[in-house]
Amino acid sequence: MNQKMMVMLCRKLGYELLVAGNGVEALATLEREAAKGPGSEIQCILMDASMDVMDGLECTRVIRASQLPTRTRPFIIALTANVTSEYQAACLTAGMDLFTSKPVSVEELMQALRAAHQWHTDNPRHEQQRSRSINAGPHSTLAPPPQHTRSNSAS
């Protein structure tokens, strides 16, 4: 599933998306949104593991090591065509929370987004955060839980 289709599907499912073309753009988007305050934080990232400029593994390591002005730890879902167990382990070691192989089916995407939503639900300090997402890389999307699942106003 290409980026345009993922964006269209996520929006149809009620997600608000921000799109970044590579890891450097994704980091800039995270910083910009976090600086706006707690209600603007990114909750979930669908991260293409193979991107130009900065790949998804390095981008994830920077996110996990960063001191962004944020209280929300984004749930990071790896998207990659490399399905070896070694690469899956590298994604998880870099700090990604979930591994999904490409091409991603609609059902797999929905399961991954549900996992991200469940993670935030199980971590109550995130309950007051509004839904935000980014799309990082030529084939990836960052997506939060749907707006209608939150008790506060959505962005």
Does 38 score more than 90 pLDDT? Answer: no
Q: Strands 44-48, 133-136: parallel, antiparallel or unpaired by DSSP?
A: parallel
pTM for the whole thing?
A: 0.77
Using DSSP's 3-state secondary structure scheme, residue 119 falls into: helix
Q: How many CB atoms lie within 10 A of CB 128?
A: 13
Cα distances (angstroms) measured from residue 130 to each of 16, 66, 94, 135: 10, 21, 26, 17
Percent pLDDT > 90 in the chain is 27
pLDDT in tens, 81-139: 888 999 999 999 999 999 888 888 888 888 998 899 888 788 755 433 334 444 444 44
149 near 114, Cβ under 8 Å?
Answer: no
- The Cα–Cα gap between 35 and 39 comes to 10
Sign of CA dihedral 138, 98, 26, 37: positive
Number of residues written out for the chain? 155
40 near 69, Cβ under 8 Å?
Answer: no
The CATH T-level fold of domain 3-146 is Rossmann fold (3.40.50)
- The Cα–Cα gap between 19 and 13 comes to 16
Mean pLDDT computed over every residue of the chain: 76
φ and ψ of 75, to 5 deg: -80, 125
